[in-house]
Structures are given as C-alpha cells and as structure tokens.
Chains A and B, each alone.
Chain A
Amino acid sequence: MKKKMTRRRFLKRTAVAAAAASLPLSVVEFSWGSGSGKNFTFAYISDSHLTHIKGTKFVRNFDQGLKKAVTECNFMSPKPDFVVYGGDLAQLGKREELDHGLEIISRLRHPVKWVIGEHDYYLDLGRYWQEKMGKLNYSFDHKGVHFVVLNSILTYEPWIKQWKTPQERMANMARLDNPKGSPFIVGDLQIEWMKLDLAKVSKDTPVVVMSHSPLYKIFKPWNFWTDDAEKVQNVLKHFNNVTVLHGHVHQIMYNQIGNITFEAMMSTSWPWPYPVSYIKKPNQVPKLTVMMNRADPFHERDATGWSILDMENGRVTNHYKLWENKDRILKYDDKLGYPVDTEYQAPASRIPPQDHY
C-alpha cells in the first residue's frame, strides 16, 4: 500500500532521492509495500510500439515513453519482485524494433516476465520473440499466487494465410481500424494447456492471468476483443479469486465478470480513444470503468504511463502511474466484489475531462 512519506522514510531514501534529483518527487515515493507475509509488489509496462524509421533511427516520442517507464521502475522502493512487459514492444514486429526494445529494457534492474502482443507477432509469427524472450505461454508461482501467461493474439488460419508477404500480414494486423482485420483468439490448443496447468492448482489459490488482449469482448471493429474469451473464462470460473491483466487497449479500463476481475494496463506510447467516441458502431465498454482524462495533445506523454501492482491476499491494488496527469488507484472491494477507483468511482466525484464523446 502507498503510505504517506514521513520525514524519516524520506531520509532513509535520500540516496535514491539524490540519484533521482531530476525526477519529480512522486517517482521516488512510489510504493512502500507492506513487506509482510505473502504480499508483494510487481510492475507492469506495456504497449511501447517502438517504431523503426531507418538505419538506427526510431520514433523519438515512443522511445521516450519506454525509457521513462524503465527509469521510474528502477527507482521503485521497495523493489518490485518482477516487472511484466505486456506486449506490443515493436510496431511492425521488426528485429530492429525488438532488439531496440530489449536494449532499453536491459537497463531494468529487475527480472522481466514477457507477454507477446500482435505487433510483435505477425511479421514472423513469433519466431524472433521466442528466440530472445522465451515461450509465448507459460505459468509460474510466486509467493502463493499462480500466474498464467497466455498468447491471446492468435487468429484464424485462413486469415493468416491469405497475405502475399509477412510485411503485408503484419501491416494488416497493425492497423486497428482495418475492415479486413481479424479477431484475436487464444485457441483450443492453448486452452487445453491451461486446463492441464490449472488442474494442479487448488480452488482457493489466487490466479492471475496475463494476456495481451482483453479476455472479454469490448469492441470488435478495433479488436478490443478475444473471440473465444468465454471458453477461457469457463476454465477460470472454478477459482475463488481470479484477476486478468491485459494490455492492448491503451487506456484505463476495468470490469468484473462473475468471479473474474479484468484490468487494462497503460501504454507507454500513445492513448487510444474509448470506443464510445466512435459513433458509427455500438460498443460494450464496461459500465464499471471510470474513463481516464481525455488526452492533451500538447503533452505527448499525457494519458500514457505504467502500473504498480500491490498484491495483498491475492487481490490486486493497481496504481496507474499516469504521466502529465494525476495517478489513479484501483482497489478490489471485498464487500462489493469488484474493483473500484478509490477517488472517482462515485458518479458525483467525476470530472469533465473524463467525459468521452
């Protein structure tokens, strides 16, 4: 939990603070952690979309986002147990982009867990990623919590096979508003694997699933959508305590479906409009979500950021670290049975920039 910084705490951290002199104070007082028992903290960085121009040139704006997240993560105190990278490290899946991302992320002083995104996958169907980052789906246990990582950005074979070149396939998946796009799937093979993996896990073990796409259906025209989400949810419904963390949507978004809590992670590169602001197609943006502030285009890091996740008794408290903007905190409410924004959940407490149209 985030505590007020006392003078003593501050002095204890002066070494770090001095090193961080050029950073705003909020950076060095992030999350003090509870330190007790099985509680722990991890961080989540996602959707950096590093874009290769040519030679050694990359889009400056997007580089800045990832670099900033990495620097801030390194100043977390106490240290996070690990950092998750949530996918879409690259823009067009190029080796140059993945290598560039790996180089920036190598400056992180913490272990990294990798989740693949569609922008990393559709050029070579995940080959380079597997070589450099490892498996596309896997699970691990950490301090009493069972983590499952899925490759949720697969799609149907005929779509994959219809393109003349890998570049054409990648470009068509990369375009969000592509009428020729194709919805994501986890696929039966992976769902079977997940069933087997979870068979060893007791019902009261907290389960955290990490995928790139949301494992529920929000807006098909922009692929805020996983076509076989219900099948995945079905496998998860036997557990008392399940959280799905995902990237891809580049915005604050959260939902509760039955026993499953869903939370979107921020993007470090750019924010996306909420589907409610595209008036030609109906959407299923969760009613529970209090939207983030509409971005100010004059501040390129506005409405981007990363997340600190405090795990307490198997429930996540999500500190959205929003650059150029006030942080938002999302906490699971045991009595209500769903996550709430600690400041803005009540309709009366909302502010005009949260109105998207």
Chain B
Amino acid sequence: MVKSLRNLIALVVFLTVAASATLFADEFSKKDVEKWNKEFMTVVNQGEKLFHSALGTNTVSCDMCHPNAANTHPETYPKFQKQIGKVVALRDMINWCIQNPLEGEPLKLDDPKMIALEAYITWERKGKPLEPGRH
C-alpha cells in the first residue's frame, strides 16, 4: 500500500515535469536562438561603438590603428606577452591599449564595456580557428 502510493507520487511528479518543457535546460526553439542572437548582436554593436570612440583622454580611438579590429588577434589568447613576462588574456591587452595609445584608465575586467569590446573584437574574427598561444 505504502509502496504503491510512493509509485503514484513518483509518476505524478514525472508527468508534471515532463509537461512543462521549459524546465529542461537542453531544449530551445528557433525563436529562442533568434532572441539570444539579437541580445548578442546588441552587445557587439555597443562594442563596435566603443571601439570607434574616444575611450581615453586624448580623443584617440581603437579603430584608428585597428580598422575592423584587425591586428587584435583574439584567437591567440591567452598567450605569453614577453613585455609583461607572463601569459595574459585578451582583456589585459585591451586595457593595455586603453592606458597607452588612448592615455585612459583601465576598465574593470567584468565591466560591461569590456565585455562589449571583446564581443566586437571576436565577432570581427568569427570563423578563425582558435590558436591559443600563437605569436
């Protein structure tokens, strides 16, 4: 008696869960993908704007030296930077360029602006195979 009741509860729980598909992490629709991609592209576009604006103190912008974010090589990070003497992330080099050519203050590593810059830089390199460590 107790056992069959427990089985029944188990069955009810199973059916309830199965009925609400949203509880499964591995299922999403085309519409979801479109929505997420739109979110992503919004951030890419924010990054593109930042990349083409004066982020430092001297009016200089990233695109002046990196048209279409060329020569930023995001696919090679993390990699050893001989001048820093250790393996660094793309973010470290973004901050390096903000502090030096742009004479600005470094961004916090989790600053939404930093994420946006990374999104734009990597998006311009979309399709390039990852080559961490390459020089």
Residues in chain A within 8 A of chain B (CB atoms): 49, 51-53, 59-61, 175-177, 221-222, 270-273, 277-280, 294-298, 300, 352, 357
Contact = CB atoms under 8 A, between A and B. Distances in A.
A32 to B, nearest CB: 35
Chain B's interface: helix, strand, loop or mixed, by majority?
A: loop
Contact of B100 (A279, A295, A300, A357): A300
A278 B60 CA distance: 21
The secondary-structure label for the interface of chain A is loop
A300 B59 contact: no
B67 interface: yes
Interface in B47-65: 52, 58-60, 63-65
A279 B127 contact: yes
Nearest to B81: A298
Given A279-B127, A297-B100, A221 B68 contact: yes
Specify which of B93, B97, B103 lies most central, judged by the most chain A CB atoms within 10 Å of its CB. B103
Interface of B: 52, 58-60, 63-68, 70-71, 73, 83, 93, 96-97, 100-101, 103, 124-125, 127-128, 135
A130 B105 CA distance: 40
Nearest to A221: B68
Given A279-B125, A297-B97, A297-B100, A176 B60 contact: no
Contact of A280 (B52, B60, B68): B68
B40 to A, nearest CB: 17
A352 B135 contact: yes
A272 B68 CA distance: 11
A177 B68 contact: yes
A270 B64 contact: yes
Contacts, number: 59
A59 B63 contact: no
27 contacts: A51-B58, A53-B59, A60-B58, A61-B60, A61-B101, A175-B52, A175-B63, A176-B64, A177-B63, A221-B68, A222-B68, A270-B64, A270-B65, A272-B67, A273-B67, A273-B70, A278-B124, A279-B125, A279-B127, A280-B68, A280-B124, A296-B83, A297-B93, A297-B101, A300-B100, A300-B101, A352-B135
Contact of B71 (A60, A280, A294): A294
A297 B71 CA distance: 11
Contacts of B68: 177, 221-222, 278, 280
Nearest to B51: A177
A320 B65 CA distance: 20
Given A51-B58, A59-B59, A280-B124, A273 B66 contact: yes
B67 A177 contact: yes
Nearest to B101: A61
Nearest to B60: A59
